[in-house]
Structure 1
Amino acid sequence: MENKQVMKKTFGIMTAITMVVGTVIGSGIFFKPQAIYTATGGKPGLGMIAWLITGLVSIAAALTFAEIAILIPKTGGMVEYLSKVFGERVGYLAGWMQVVLALPAMAAGLAVIFADQVTLLTGNNVTIPVAIFVLIFVVILNCMSSKVGGGVQVVFTICKLVPLVLIIVFGFIKGSGTNTVFTPMVGEGLSPITVLGTLMVAILFAFEGWTNVGAIAGEMKNPGRDLPIAIVGGVSVITAIYFIINLAYLWVIPADQLAATSAPATLVARHIFGDFGSILITIGIMISCFGTCNGFLMSGSRVTYAMAEGGKLPFFKFLSKLNKTQTPANSIIFTGALSCIFALTGQYNLLTDLGVFSSWIFYTLTFVAVIVYRNQRPDIKRSYKVPLYPIIPILAIISGIFVVLNQFITATMLSLGSVIITIIGLPVYIYMNKKHMSNS
């Protein structure tokens, strides 16, 4: 009998938490305030409230997601959950979407925004070559071993908190505090309900990535204990950080000026620390983007590995191979290559919007799966249960549907492209099943 390769269980609670915090806190908190205050007509109130509302929605989603992540702690994450509850076809499409679209697009988007900052600092348009270099470098680090990749995640998560802490502390010390924060809600002629939908879609990108910790569950030492702490605790901490730093932004710069700049955090830093200080903060933002890129590429490669190892990528069996350090190097290289292709667009917003819409279709199905699995397998002992069941899962489901429909209405062509690429996975799945039947 052939010996099956097994990835080492090297990830502890610190890596799991930093996977959540490090993957989520990336570029959104530094760049999305422009889109938020543009949508509110340069007024702060609804923007600040939207950060809280979206944070609570994300916590509800995290509380729901954690239950099924603990019950099925396998490398591959959402693919395994949906396959178990709704059948292999649905799980396959979720995996296909993550492998060929969402995760490499998100990694590429983070590399592009990193490269945009290099362009800003040097004055030379080097976005695409620098983005590709960053992705190749991240691939090399992760191919060394899972321990190295996890170590990079821990170190860069700690480093990325530095500019956040500096802006928060010195923003409140040096800021005038005379700008309005919670009033007025929106500009004249704008509907708060309509604007809130736009704001939530923008802010959800800033929260994107907390589900990725489920993809490394198979390499965690104690997933039953560590997953709920990492997911729920991580998202709660992130919600608090986001609200406080946005308060600090407004303490220094009014909302209408934040809406008028493509780099709000850099503008705030310049007011606080001067030109040299703003350069240091920009470098800190680059570190943040690098760490987030590492997180998306790490989790994306694990989904690819899980799909290939389960025979779900018939044309790419080599992706199921591990190297001498028991690391899925081939899958890491494959995910990195796809990310490089996406990075050729040089379009940060396009890539991140594509990733968010694609992911939230299957996030919502995962929330539904928690309720369905409760009914399918009530006999299974659950070490963790969603609190206030079924209210919290229903809230997560409604929020997911709202996000998907809103994005489809406001960005129809982008959404259609995502759906088409996902559906292409169906003929691959059919071929895979036919090949399996012919060999059996």
Structure 2
Amino acid sequence: MDNKNKQHYGLFTATTMIIGIVIGSGIFFKSDDVLIYTGGSVELGVIAFIIGAFSIIFGSLTLSEFAVRTKHDGGIIGYYEEFISVSSANGFGWFQTFIYFPTIIVVISWVTAIYIFSFLGIEGSVEQQVILGLIIFTVFYCINTLSYKLGGHIQNITTIVKLIPLFLIALTGLFYSGQDIKIPEGTALIPNSNIGLAWLAALPSIAFSFDGWIVSINITNEVENPKKNMPLALIIGPLTVLIVYLLYFLGLNTMLGPDYIMATGNEAVNKAGEILFGNFGIRLLLIFIIISILGVVNGMTLGSIRMPQNLAFKKMLPDSKTLAKIHPKYELSLSSALCSYLTCVVWMLLHYFSLKSNIFKGGDISENAIVFSYICYILLYIKVLKLKKKNIITSFFKGVVCPILGLLGSLIILVGGLISTPLYASVFILFCCLVCLAGYLYSKRRV
């Protein structure tokens, strides 16, 4: 099928798809982290959100230059394969399959468990949260393996639901003039502080909230007039997400105050629900949030179960013949789904140990995986600069300005990740490098 037959999305649809992909669960449970990293400064939090958004805009505009030129499927892996090397594509594919997707699925499932316990009025232990999180992603692996259509319907519904609590809190916060909210007795107060450049540590949390934008690049070849509409969608979409996030962040801070949000953490949104609708509002808002986060688990699972399969089609994994075998009834590889699921189980155990030891100081394993993904994009940004030098890309803005700003955004996010937990972030990034190296060497051996 040629590209013309596949071009059935207009500018509006392309933009809304980007918004639906990017707006996920992170904004609900990362606002307190952003405030803690910025020393309680709402202003610095706003700046961090803006930096995160512009890293996405210029990064995605840069990568869209590959999307309109590529002959390969597979998104970023395809870009590595065609424009850098098959071996580097193999390495990046291993990172996405065995680290990026599973760590995000694990953390989001765990967060869903926290909100479910909150909804039930139960103070779940870390062990209980991890077990429930394991059950949650197990259910979604079963759903997306046994019925891809059901998984798609779930994704459509949750995309709409996730916007409701964001707009409710944002709009209420703009006009809220109630009394100061008192921090619950027995809750440790986190004081405001002048943290200097350490506020850059908020950027990995911001990157988590904006993560998912890279998936939107994959639809470029299906967009009408992609050279015109896709760059517009990649500007309008992230800017819309930024506005929604800023309104929510400012609204929540207006309603509750930074001190309350930092002290109560993920539970702060419960108070926002109480202000909106009374005691019933807490449960109503939590239902919206739980459905929204479950949608993210579903979407990431839907993509993750196909990653080993996609790599196997390209013979990028051991025993590719088995992993690439499509089941006629379920229309995907059951071996691929099982491989992806078992990887998540292992990461859930690692996540549990990281929580018990608090090695990431309030952060989590997925943030460092996202930081490393931004490091990987740097190679592609540099390649765009080289294509401009060869005059393959003629636009100065797309061939020079966008990749340089995207590269700077990636470096800032990397610095933020290293500032937050220098030792463990460095170890995690080194581990990601080793996984990529293993994939790279496997490809070389195969050749």
TM-score bin (small chain): 0.7 to 0.9
The aligned residue for residue 348 of structure 2 is 343
**Is 1:56 matched up with 2:54?**
yes
The aligned residue for residue 246 of structure 2 is 243
Distance 1:138-1:21 versus aligned 2 partners, 3 A rule: farther
- Report if the CA contact (8 A) 1:74-1:215 is conserved: no
Which residue identity does 2:314 align to in structure 1? G
| Whole-Å separation in 2 of the counterparts to 1:261 and 1:177 | 18
Deviation at 1:349, TM superposition (A): 3.5
Q: Where do 5+ consecutive residues of structure 1 fail to align?
A: 1-8, 180-185
| Whole-Å separation in 2 of the counterparts to 1:82 and 1:221 | 22
Distance 1:177-1:336 versus aligned 2 partners, 3 A rule: farther
Distance 1:169-1:408 versus aligned 2 partners, 3 A rule: closer
Question: 2:404 aligned to 357, 369, 394, which one?
Answer: 394
| Whole-Å separation in 1 of the counterparts to 2:293 and 2:369 | 16
Q: Deviations over 1:68-122 (max 9, x none)?
A: 2232274321111122222122222211111100111111111110011122223
**Is 1:212 matched up with 2:215?**
yes
CA RMSD of superposed structures (Å): 3.3
Distance 1:419-1:310 versus aligned 2 partners, 3 A rule: same
Q: Deviations over 1:287-338 (max 9, x none)?
A: 1111112222233344433211100102343222333354455434432332
Distance 1:372-1:198 versus aligned 2 partners, 3 A rule: same
Aligned residues with identical type, % of pairs? 24
Question: 2:130 aligned to 111, 128, 131, which one?
Answer: 128
Question: 2:289 aligned to 285, 290, 300, which one?
Answer: 285
User: Which aligned pairs between 1:57-206 and structure 2 lie closer than 5 A?
Assistant: 57-72=55-70, 74-122=72-120, 123=122, 124-125=124-125, 126-144=128-146, 146-176=148-178, 189-191=194-196, 194-206=197-209
| Whole-Å separation in 2 of the counterparts to 1:61 and 1:172 | 31
The aligned residue for residue 6 of structure 1 is none
**Is 1:373 matched up with 2:373?**
no
Q: Deviations over 1:382-426 (max 9, x none)?
A: 9xx684541121011012122223323432223323322432443
Q: Where do 5+ consecutive residues of structure 2 fail to align?
A: 1-5, 182-190, 356-361
SS across alignment from 1:101: helix
Question: 1:356 aligned to 370, 373, 387, which one?
Answer: 370
- Report if the CA contact (8 A) 1:64-1:386 is conserved: no
Identify which range, 412-421 or 274-283, moves more after superposition: 412-421
Q: Runs of 4 or more off by more than 6 Å in structure 1?
A: 13-16
| Whole-Å separation in 2 of the counterparts to 1:340 and 1:15 | 36
| Whole-Å separation in 1 of the counterparts to 2:101 and 2:14 | 18
The aligned residue for residue 429 of structure 2 is 418
- Report if the CA contact (8 A) 1:19-1:212 is conserved: no
Distance 1:209-1:314 versus aligned 2 partners, 3 A rule: same
Distance 1:397-1:250 versus aligned 2 partners, 3 A rule: same
Question: 1:331 aligned to 336, 355, 367, which one?
Answer: 336
Which residue identity does 1:37 align to in structure 2? L
* Equivalences, count: 416
Give the TM-score normalised by the residue count of structure 1. Answer: 0.83
Distance 1:104-1:16 versus aligned 2 partners, 3 A rule: farther
Identify which range, 141-150 or 231-240, moves more after superposition: 141-150
Deviation at 1:195, TM superposition (A): 3.5
